Amino acid sequence: PMFLSFLRVLSMNPPSVVVRFGDSFSVNCSSTSDLIESMGLESRYGSSMSSSGNSFVVLKVESVTDWEFEPICFLNHLRDGQCLQTLPVTVYKTPDTVSISPPSLEGLVEGERYSIQCDIVNVAPVSSLSVHWHRGDAIFYTERFDGSSLSPVNKTSVFNLTAQRGDDETRIWCEAWWRTLELSAGIKLSLDCTAAGKPTPVYSWRSPHHIQRTNQNENQSVLALSIQLPGTYECTASNSQGSNTKYFTVTEATSKILL
């Protein structure tokens, strides 16, 4: 049987998890129903049951060592049977190395085309990977990757550059970004923009609502906020030697409910 009323009484906090491989996380499953027989959280890392009379249960995963899994919260209702809700978990790994070849672009001939390759080693998941190509401080090309693999893979981005007179002594380089996460609007989260540099960087944040924040304190590189609307959040770290911008893209997520 299907009990649609459970959609309103069973919830997970957080509604989805993004965790680095090897790290820990915890989740709370709760219900507003007063007719609970029992409830619990199950995963391949163990399970947790609520105490008698409690309307919530907490599961702590000490170390994530799988690339794909979904904890399940279950509720046994005194009148309506059982309801299940899954917790979407995204497990990620940053690249071991990002390198460009050829390493030097000296001696280019204006008007000629040159193939430049950016190699990204051991990154997951591939569907969240994008590569930004820079000419100096400006991004001139972005490649995004598709794929179903959740475990680490190696990827290559190739760009065919037509040499221009203005490219003389301009640095051409690439960087890998782990892009766009699906998060539910309204939840609380932290965006980490920590950068290393001397002098110590100053951080400037810009939200989709064009509200700009500047933190002079070196310890304010992490922005804690409640996402009110989807969109792209920008963080720029800068000092007297230059600046770099990191983008956090938030999109609406759809929860998976099993009834």
**What per-residue confidence (pLDDT) applies to 117?**
93
Tokens 């509200």 found at: 211
**What per-residue confidence (pLDDT) applies to 136?**
79
My answer on whether 160 and 214 are in the same domain is no
**What per-residue confidence (pLDDT) applies to 130?**
87
Burial category of 82 from C-beta neighbours within 10 Å (exposed 0-12, middle 13-18, buried 19 and up): middle
**What per-residue confidence (pLDDT) applies to 186?**
57
Two tokens, residue 102: 């050829």
Q: Listing from the earlier edge strand, what are the strands of the sheet with 10-13?
A: 10-13, 25-31, 56-61
The residue from 156, 178, 200 where one domain ends is 178
My answer on whether 66 and 118 are in the same domain is no
Distance CA 33, CA 10 (A): 8
My answer on whether 126 and 155 are in the same domain is yes
My answer on whether 73 and 37 are in the same domain is yes
My answer on whether 230 and 213 are in the same domain is yes
My answer on whether 114 and 126 are in the same domain is yes
Q: How many helices (H) and strands (E) does the chain have?
A: 0, 23
**What per-residue confidence (pLDDT) applies to 248?**
67
My answer on whether 88 and 10 are in the same domain is yes
Two tokens, residue 246: 């990191």
**What per-residue confidence (pLDDT) applies to 257?**
27
Distance CA 5, CA 64 (A): 33
My answer on whether 12 and 74 are in the same domain is yes
CATH number at residue 130: 2.60.40.10
Q: Which among 208, 151, 214 has a CA at the least distance from the CA of 185? A: 208
CB 233 within 8 A of CB 184: no
The residue from 178, 193, 217 where one domain ends is 178
My answer on whether 224 and 201 are in the same domain is yes
Q: Check the CA dihedral 33-42-76-256 and report its sign.
A: positive
CA atoms within 13 A on the CB side of 186: 5
Q: The whole model's pTM is what? A: 0.64
Q: Check the CA dihedral 251-252-254-255 and report its sign.
A: positive
My answer on whether 165 and 195 are in the same domain is no
Q: Listing from the earlier edge strand, what are the strands of the sheet with 153-162?
A: 97-101, 113-123, 153-162
My answer on whether 131 and 174 are in the same domain is yes
**What per-residue confidence (pLDDT) applies to 212?**
45
The residue from 92, 117, 151 where one domain ends is 92
Q: What is the pLDDT along the chain (259 residues), one digit of tens a residue?
A: 444 444 456 788 888 888 889 988 888 888 877 777 788 899 999 888 876 667 888 999 999 999 999 999 988 877 777 888 899 898 988 888 889 888 666 777 888 888 899 999 999 999 888 898 888 778 888 898 888 899 999 999 998 888 877 666 778 888 888 754 555 555 566 676 777 778 888 888 877 554 444 444 433 566 665 555 555 567 788 888 877 766 665 654 433 322 2
Secondary structure of residue 65 in the 3-state scheme: coil
Distance CA 201, CA 204 (A): 10
My answer on whether 140 and 73 are in the same domain is no
Q: Give the domain extent around 12.
A: 4-92
Q: Which helix (H) or strand (E) holds 244?
A: strand 242-251
The structural domain count of the chain equals 3
Q: Which helix (H) or strand (E) holds 251?
A: strand 242-251
